[in-house]
């Protein structure tokens, strides 16, 4: 399967001097894509899976001396390692996060290059005393986004480029292509972007088989909750995770803590929410109390919407009849708004865009607000036919006119512009990016000092 992260992996292979750490939630395809890139480049490498090889894990934990550590790895390798060329690929390093503190010395020693990968690293790294700044490049991997899903289904790269060009030039998309993209979007809402699920879909086209794979992933996540957290904490994490679909089905989608427990105080559960975020299995989208850049300074950490990291895992909580209706676009008895918003949150986060939402008595609620070039871009997500009604965006433009640029309403409509607002199909969210890159070099004049 084609993954966008391949480009960054290849750039590191060509130019990277530091070690590479690829992190992300369980089963997003980290190991697969690392192997594929190494094999495509005919790289000599030795892979150690620290879950499958507890004997090696135990041995590495006992060693502090770097020379001895390297010698032990060379001893375990079934094939000779080539100095200056071979790569040591340590997978599932959440079992041995202390290896990160040794990376500085392994890189300085220079005999081999190193790739590290694992799940729950956002959780595990917090407990490490010293992360070697400058000696390790970190890449975050997400479930397959909509474009990667299309490529897996066999959609041509030329079609992807055409869609991006239409968004950038504000040109209407060919109706045949537009309608097919909408149908494929509804398919993606059911299947999602977990590679294992996508593969099962390609093999079987069977909703029941897809469901089995999704349930396996969710059960694996819950096993992680239990394995890595204390008894009282893991029960809270599972309760929060299982409650996300119900919370998103409410009108405003905001996570209400008292739905879990009427006596609940946020401070008691805060670490559990952060655990899910750091593990990469859920995305809290915080409210910004001011529609001004930078949004982070008006962020309220106690008020947020909580989305699952993969929309397919969200719909796996729905009955089969509802999922079949979503796939066939044949029912209005489900909350498409929740699915569309989860899809948007997932696409933005995978594109390294930090979304917020905004709400005030004067404006109303804006589904998402993001920052481009020190201006705020509001995004309204419409799942129904009344997509031209958007009082909140209209109010925002009137009140915060100097701070706002390029408001977008995403719906099932084709591309068109009406006044200041761009209307675009929901499946184009993943193409959002800054259109220009300013020269960010800072001139330094030391003359005379």
**Ramachandran quadrant class, 310 (left: phi over 0; alpha: psi -120 to 50; beta: rest):** beta
CA angle 151, 154, 158 (to 5 degrees): 70
10 Å Cβ neighbour count for 188?
A: 24
What residue segments make up the domains of the chain, in order of their start?
A: 6-141, 146-431
Q: Which residues contact 447 (CB under 8 A, 6 or more apart)?
A: none
Residue 300 and residue 277: Cα distance in Å, rounded? 16
Strand, coil or helix: what is 371?
strand
Question: Residue 258 burial by CB count (10 A; 0-12/13-18/19+): exposed, middle or buried?
Answer: exposed
Q: Which CATH class is domain 6-141?
A: alpha beta
Question: pLDDT by residue for the chain (449 residues), tens digit each?
Answer: 889 999 999 999 999 999 999 999 989 999 999 999 999 999 999 999 999 998 888 888 888 888 998 999 999 999 999 999 999 999 998 888 888 888 889 999 999 999 999 887 666 665 555 567 788 999 999 999 999 999 999 999 999 999 999 999 999 999 999 999 999 999 999 999 999 999 999 999 999 999 999 999 999 998 888 776 655 566 678 888 998 998 888 767 777 766 666 555 666 667 778 888 888 999 999 999 998 889 999 999 888 999 999 999 999 999 999 998 888 876 555 668 899 999 999 999 999 999 999 999 999 999 999 998 778 999 999 987 778 888 889 999 888 888 888 899 999 999 999 988 999 999 999 999 765 555 556 777 677 77
Residue pair 228/272 in contact (Cβ under 8 Å)? The answer is no
Q: What is the pTM of this model?
A: 0.90
Residue 6 and residue 12: Cα distance in Å, rounded? 10
Residue pair 164/427 in contact (Cβ under 8 Å)? The answer is no
| DSSP-derived secondary structure for 128-181 | -S---TTSEEEEEE-S--HHHHHHHHT--HHHHHHHHHHHHHTPPPPHHHHHHH
Residue 418 and residue 402: Cα distance in Å, rounded? 19
């Amino acid at each position: 399967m084609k993954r966008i992260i391949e480009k960054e992996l290849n750039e590191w292979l060509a130019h990277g001097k530091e070690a590479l750490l690829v992190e992300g939630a369980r089963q997003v395809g980290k190991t697969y894509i690392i192997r594929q890139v190494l094999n495509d480049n005919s790289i000599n490498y030795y892979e150690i899976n620290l879950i499958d090889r507890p004997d090696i894990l135990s041995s590495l934990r006992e060693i502090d001396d770097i020379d001895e550590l390297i010698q032990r790895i060379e001893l375990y390798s079934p094939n000779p390692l080539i100095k200056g060329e071979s790569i040591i690929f340590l997978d599932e390093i959440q079992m041995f996060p202390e290896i990160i503190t040794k990376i500085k010395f392994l890189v300085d020693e220079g005999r081999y290059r190193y790739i590290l990968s694992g799940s729950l690293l956002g959780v595990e790294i917090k407990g490490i005393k010293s992360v070697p700044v400058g000696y390790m490049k970190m890449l975050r991997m997400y479930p397959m986004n909509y474009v990667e899903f299309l490529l897996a289904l066999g959609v041509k790269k030329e079609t992807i480029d055409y869609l991006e060009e239409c968004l950038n030039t504000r040109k209407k998309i060919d109706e045949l292509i537009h309608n097919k993209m909408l149908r494929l979007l509804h398919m993606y809402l059911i299947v999602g972007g977990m590679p294992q699920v996508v593969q099962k879909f390609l093999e079987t086209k069977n909703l029941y088989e897809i469901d089995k794979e999704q349930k396996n992933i969710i059960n694996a996540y819950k096993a992680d909750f239990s394995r890595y957290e204390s008894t009282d904490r893991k029960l809270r994490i599972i309760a929060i995770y299982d409650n996300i679909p119900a919370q998103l089905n409410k009108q405003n989608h905001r996570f209400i803590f008292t739905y879990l427990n009427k006596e609940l105080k946020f401070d008691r559960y805060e670490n559990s929410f952060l655990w899910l975020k750091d593990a990469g299995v859920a995305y809290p989208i915080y409210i910004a109390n001011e529609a001004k850049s930078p949004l982070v300074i008006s962020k309220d950490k106690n008020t947020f919407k909580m989305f699952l990291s993969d929309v397919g895992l969200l719909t796996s909580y729905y009955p089969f009849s509802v999922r079949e209706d979503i796939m066939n676009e044949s029912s209005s008895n489900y909350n498409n708004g929740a699915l569309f918003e989860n899809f948007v949150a997932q696409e933005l986060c995978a594109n390294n865009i930090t979304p917020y939402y905004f709400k005030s008595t004067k404006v109303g609620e804006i589904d998402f607000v993001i920052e481009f070039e020190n201006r705020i871009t509001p995004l309204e997500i419409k799942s129904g036919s009344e997509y031209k009604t958007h009082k909140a965006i209209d109010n925002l433009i009137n009140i915060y006119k100097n701070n706002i640029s390029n408001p977008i309403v995403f719906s099932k409509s084709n591309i068109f512009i009406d006044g200041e607002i761009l209307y675009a199909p929901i499946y184009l969210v993943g193409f959002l990016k800054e259109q220009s890159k300013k020269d960010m070099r800072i001139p330094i004049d030391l003359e005379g000092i």
